[in-house]
């Protein structure tokens, strides 16, 4: 009897941002494969009876290649298990969830997707930065700073646009190149930028700067991954709206 795979978004870190459905299915799992960005407090929710396996990825350091993760999901489900594939944030936003589902479909394994709070929404909210605002930004764009080929060769001309917020996932490694490229393609050097480190967790740190100086600020403060970049005039509201330290 074939089991089922539940592709669950664990959110950006705070366990209380798990959806009710995600929490219910996680506590019923037979097998859980979890990523590097899933917080310890969420991992602690996995029942003791479940098989737990870390399959996370860091830059140039993968505990398992993606192909092996895909095969493992298939094998565990075909053995009749309720398999939870637990991913940080949302599995369909830079989470490679689509690649894993393609394999499940090819192998005839049933699955269900449970969306999660993506880092852009969670980290921005906890840092006090609205991603859109009638006076500052009427659009928001999510990008990854780490492309499949290992470069940060983004469509720079499209990104330098008024009234737009840019949110860059995994942008810390290429931060210097990102800032220089945006300026080279026309972004004003004084454009506000926020770097949110370990967003939504008790270790969250937020640094605001400009696109010209953000690399130096991040370096001086020894910012570590996971960190999210938010670029746009909307960042000027951060000091006014931040509520994390007061209400968390």
Is 248 an active-site residue? Answer: no
Q: Which of 35, 76, 87, 90 is catalytic?
A: 35
HEC assignment per residue over 167-182: EEECCCCCHHHHHHHH
Cβ-based neighbour number of residue 203 at 10 Å: 11
Distances (CA, A) of 178 to 21, 55, 168, 211: 37, 29, 10, 9
| Burial class of residue 70 (count of CB atoms within 10 Å of its CB; 0-12, 13-18, 19+) | buried
Is 35 an active-site residue? Answer: yes
> What is the rounded distance in angstroms from the CA atom of residue 143 to the CA atom of residue 38?
20
Q: Which of 4, 52, 57, 212 is catalytic?
A: 57
Residues tagged active-site: 35, 57
């Amino acid at each position: 009897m074939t089991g089922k795979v539940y592709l669950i978004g664990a959110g950006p870190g705070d366990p209380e941002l798990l959806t009710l459905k995600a929490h219910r299915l996680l506590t019923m799992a037979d097998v859980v494969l979890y990523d590097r960005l899933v917080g310890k407090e969420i991992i602690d929710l996995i029942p003791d009876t479940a098989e737990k396996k870390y399959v996370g990825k860091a830059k140039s350091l993968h505990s398992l290649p993606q192909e092996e993760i895909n095969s493992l999901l298939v094998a565990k489900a075909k053995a009749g298990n309720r398999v939870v594939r637990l991913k940080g944030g949302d599995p369909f936003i830079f989470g490679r969830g689509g690649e894993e589902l393609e394999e499940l479909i090819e192998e005839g394994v049933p699955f269900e997707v449970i969306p999660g709070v993506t880092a852009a929404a969670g980290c921005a909210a906890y840092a006090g930065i609205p991603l859109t605002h009638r006076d500052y930004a009427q659009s928001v764009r999510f990008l990854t700073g780490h492309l499949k080929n290992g470069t940060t060769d983004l469509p720079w001309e499209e990104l330098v646009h008024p009234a737009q917020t840019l949110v860059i996932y995994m942008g810390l490694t290429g931060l210097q190149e990102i800032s220089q490229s945006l300026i080279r393609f026309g972004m004003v050097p004084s454009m506000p930028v926020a770097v949110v480190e370990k967003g939504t967790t008790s270790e969250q740190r937020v640094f605001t700067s400009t696109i010209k100086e953000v690399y130096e600020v991040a370096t001086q403060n020894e910012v570590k991954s996971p960190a999210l970049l938010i670029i746009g005039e909307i960042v000027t509201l951060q000091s006014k709206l931040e509520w994390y330290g007061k209400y968390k």
